[in-house]
Chain A
Amino acid sequence: MTSLRTFVPLLLLALPLPALAGTVKGTVRVPDTVRSGRMNQGYWRLENGNVPVRPSSRKAGTVVVLQGISGTHPPPPRTVTVEIAGLTATPRFVVVGPGSVVEFKNTGKITHELSVPADETLMPVERLNPGTFRHQKFGVPGGYLVRCSEYPSLAISVIVVDSPYYAVVDDKGAFSIPGVPDGKATLKVWAGGRWAHEESIDTNGKDLSIRIESAKSANQPEAKEAEGTGKEGDSEGKEPDPKGSAE
């Protein structure tokens, strides 16, 4: 018994110590189409000329996720409720661990038909009448855009992460992920309803500056690039919507 008492501390000392932890922080600059809150524009968008245009109340829903860090565990599964009132979902994006359940609750007067268009086998179109709810489990890490087929502006991003290191970008585009072990990691950015950016980084506490040149419309199938295979899309150089915008 004595030998055991002396052995345990030695064993603890022999285990590899975790690397030094730091904070990964930076700024994400998303395209104007994402920041403007208007992903799907018509032909015209004109200022009224009398009162200043207010900033959008719709959060861009940009999330930065660090993946590929050894020795980390995904967040535990949980149940999150998304309340849909009229044509507004609250929250408009959720970040959960694998196996989590999202409850879509229709508290408004409008009937919706929710699905994940990029993966209708996971979540097929189903009518969600006022006053009813729908549970949907998301088991595999990735990004999922849940959308109403009748009112496509109603879109909810469900980001399933297998790492506890993620952060939601604030209104100024800044993010900060504390307690990240030093080493190599893959940084992915979910913006505009898709994986918009991915890069390998050294998590040594440096400030990062990430610029996403453009964002495709959120109905693009990139949202299905969820299982850790997301890569920088063909988002360079091309504007997503060449139609005129007078903003």
Chain B
Amino acid sequence: MFLSKIWFILVALFAGVSLSIALTAPRPMVQKLQELEGQRLDRAEYATEQMLKVDAHKWIDRVARLGRDAVLAEALDSASRGSGELGVQHRTVQVRIQALLPDLAGAGIATIVAVDANGRVVARVGGDDDKNFGENIGGAELIDDALRGFLSDDVWGAGGRLLRVAGAPVLSKSRDRIVGALYVGAETGAQFAERLKKNLDVDIALLLKGKVIASTIPAEVLSGLPDMVEQHRQDIDNLKRTPALPIDVGNETYLAVAAPFPGQASLQKAYYVLIGKKPAHADMGSLLASTSAHDLKWGTFPWIPLLVTILGIIAVGLFLQRFEVDGPMQRIRAELRALVRLDGAKLNDHKYGGGFGGIARDVNAALEHVSIAMSGAHPLGNHAMADAPAAGSAFSEGESHFAQAVRPAAGPPLIPGLGAPPPPAFAPPSDDGGPAPSSPAQPAFGAAPTSSEQDEDAHIREVYEQFVATKKECGEPTAGLTLDKFSQRLHDNRAALMAKHDCRTVRFTVYVKEGKASLRATPIK
């Protein structure tokens, strides 16, 4: 079962490594994706800034062109000089602007306002208050700039709306003095956000005074956005933008980069926020939750390699189990059944390795032990413990001299009294290396001893005589050491050692150790 165990360990290691990779591999990937998304938002923010800048120049050009209109210049000049009715001038300018720009909404214009050289509103076009005129708005920085001669842009936040405005002076017909100014306000709301989203492929939210005034995703779910941006006011002041910040929108997590609008709207907490979806979390649940049916399709998921791998692992495991477990188990069962049918003397333990080999040898030893017990004078099961050499005795000492266990030769009849079994299926090698002799017919229980037993008795008697003589030489007492007892003990010891060390027989030799007679047992294969 060695290979099966190794295979099991390898499969477990493989599964552990695979699981570890499956759990950890997405993390750096998710971090990288998040970093890339942050960089994408950075680029989008830069692009937005450039777009706003280009847009601002475009609006300045437009309003400057509009300011070169002679009718407008004449009407504003008249209003600045205080000549004529302001109401008439209001209508003149309004009609003229409407004639020049008939489709304000189509041009993305929310309002156009004309002021005279004193900063007084002469006419408005677009918006809800195009009937109002006459108030002074010269205090606005953009208007003041235009009346001084500058073309400039700004962003205003008023009435909950955000306007990108561009202003330009209106020169007199002779182009030698400033007679007024025009400014154009461009819509900066939902349409602007949609345009940005279309161009940049990121979601947009516009903030003003701590509120979301327009966004490409529902504003309700962005309720926490103004506070989050305000918390990073320091970054905005220093860097003109925030780093990519994670925000929870409903069940989704997004990354957001906020940047301020320029101009006076920056005093009104006016920001544009670019929002990109944050990559999924790297935990197993999130990864599985983000898996779609498409990911599991045949063409997408490597089903065939996966199935081949799984089947291969199973096949190798089954093969190893059959090779190392099922096969030996079947064989050993078959042999045991044969033994029961008296078709053999013992198990052929050569054929088995590992644990099964050990089981076969144990079974053989047990059978031999039973055989010996039943053939001897001792009742079965008593002799082993009762006759074991006492600790410290000469017999016990001899056991320590076994160099190694050796395979026992085919033994005597195993089950006396049950008739003579046929020769065993296997033939252990003989001492001279020749073919093992076939077992003779086994005597029935209580029959006369065989020649080999007689040899053994002779050997024991010889050892006994040597042992008694050696003890006498060593000055040890020999009273009570009868041949019967000595022989019985050596028989018992021999049987035990044969069972334990799997040897054919045991030869004893007498020697002196530390002034005492001792016995050495030597296994014979």
Max chain B CB contacts within 10 Å: which of A45, A48, A151?
A48
Nearest-neighbour CB distance to chain A for B10, whole angstroms, equals 63
Q: Is B154 an interface residue (CB 8 A)?
A: yes
Q: Given A151-B158, A154-B139, check contact A45 B144 (CB 8 Å).
A: no
Q: Is A217 an interface residue (CB 8 A)?
A: yes
For the complex, give the distance between the alpha carbons of A102 and B264 in Å. 25
A150 within 8 A of B: yes
Please indicate the chain B residues that have their CB under 8 angstroms from the CB of A54 in the complex: 147-149, 178
Contact of A58 among B144, B151, B171, B176 (CB under 8 A): B144
Asked if A210 lies at the interface with its beta carbon under 8 angstroms from chain B, I say no
Partner of B139, one of A50, A89, A149: A89
A85 lies within 8 A of chain B by Cβ? yes
Indicate which residue in B53, B57, B168 contacts A48 across the interface (CB closer than 8 Å). Answer: B168
CA distance A232 to B60 in the complex (A): 38
CB distance from B156 to the nearest CB of A (A): 8
Contact in complex: A243, B262 (CB < 8 Å) = yes
Whether B159 is near chain A, meaning CB under 8 Å from some CB there, is: yes
Chain B 265-309: CB-based contact to A (< 8 A → 1; otherwise 0) = 011100000000000000000000000000000000000000000
Q: Find A45's partner among B53, B140, B145 (CB 8 Å cutoff).
A: B145
Considering only residues 100-118 of chain A, those with a C-beta below 8 Å from chain B are 108-110
Name the contact of B140 in the complex, choosing from A43, A87, A218, A242 (C-beta under 8 A): A87
- A42 to B56, Cβ gap below 8 A? yes
In this assembly, does A129 line the interface, its C-beta being within 8 Å of a C-beta of chain B?
Answer: no
Is B209 at the interface (CB under 8 A from chain A)? yes
B226: Cβ under 8 A from any A Cβ: no
B residues less than 8 Å from A44 (CB atoms): 53, 56-57, 60, 151-153
Judging by beta carbons under 8 Å apart, are A40 and B153 in contact? no
Asked whether B132 is an interface residue with its Cβ less than 8 Å from the other chain, the reply is yes
- Contact check, B176 vs A51: say whether CB atoms are below 8 A apart: yes
Contact code string A215-229 (vs B, CB < 8 Å = 1, else 0): 001110000000000
Beyond A46-B60, A57-B144, whether A87 also contacts B137 by CB under 8 A is yes
Chain A 75-107, CB-CB to B under 8 Å as 1, else 0, gives 000000000011111000000000000000000
B199 on the interface (CB 8 Å rule)? Answer: no
A124 in the interface (beta carbon within 8 A): no
Q: Which of A51, A55, A57, A87 contacts B178 (CB 8 A)?
A: A51
Instruction: Tell whether, in the assembled complex, residue B263 and residue A41 are in contact, meaning their CB atoms are under 8 Å apart.
Output: yes
Select B136's contact among A46, A57, A108, A218, beta carbons within 8 Å: A108
Instruction: Determine whether the beta carbon of A147 is less than 8 Å from that of B267.
Output: yes
Residues of chain B contacted by A40 (CB below 8 angstroms): 141, 154, 262-264, 266-267
Tell yes or no: A47 within 8 A of B by CB. Answer: yes
Given A46-B60, A48-B171, A39-B141 contact (CB < 8 Å) = yes
Confirm or deny: A71 has a beta carbon within 8 angstroms of a beta carbon on chain B. no
A205: chain B residues at CB < 8 Å are none
A2 interface contact, C-beta 8 A: no
- Complex CA distance for A54 and B171, rounded to whole angstroms: 13
A139: Cβ under 8 A from any B Cβ: no
Contact B150 A53 (CB under 8 A): yes
SS of B interface (majority):
mixed
Interface presence of A131 (CB below 8 A) = no
A45 and B263 form a contact (CB under 8 A): no
For the complex, what is the distance from the CA of A152 to the CA of B139, rounded to whole Å?
10
Give the most central of B57, B140, B175: most A CB within 10 Å. B140
Q: Choose among A42, A43, A108, A241 the residue with the greatest number of B CB atoms under 10 Å from its CB.
A: A42
Cross-chain contact B175 with A42 (CB below 8 angstroms): no
Task: Mark A28-66 against chain B: 1 for CB-CB distance below 8 A, else 0.
Answer: 000000000111111111111011111111100000000
Whether, in the assembled complex, A247 has its beta carbon less than 8 Å from a beta carbon of chain B, the answer is yes
- Which residues of the other chain, A, contact B56 by a CB distance below 8 angstroms? 42-44
A87 to B158, CA, bound (A): 13
Give a binary string over A175-206; 1 marks a CB under 8 Å from any B CB, 0 the rest: 00000000000000000000000000000000
Q: Is A153 an interface residue (CB 8 A)?
A: yes
Inter-chain CA distance A88–B115, complex, in Å, is 15
* Complex-state Cα separation, A53 to B138, whole angstroms: 16
Q: Hey, what's the 0/1 contact readout for B40-55 against A, CB within 8 Å counting as 1?
A: 0000000000001100
Q: Which residues from chain A contact B119 at a C-beta distance below 8 Å?
A: 86, 88
Q: With A50-B171, A87-B138, A243-B262 known to touch, is A43 a contact of B149 (CB < 8 Å)?
A: no
Please give me the residue from chain A that is nearest to B164 by CB atom.
A42
Partner of B53, one of A37, A43, A149: A43
8 extra interface residue pairs, beta carbon distance < 8 Å, beyond A39-B141, A86-B135: A37-B144, A43-B53, A50-B175, A50-B176, A53-B148, A108-B135, A109-B132, A243-B262
Q: Which residues of A contact B (CB under 8 A)?
A: 37-48, 50-58, 85-89, 108-110, 147, 149-154, 217-219, 241-243, 247
5 contacts between A and B (CB under 8 A): A40-B267, A50-B176, A51-B175, A88-B139, A153-B141
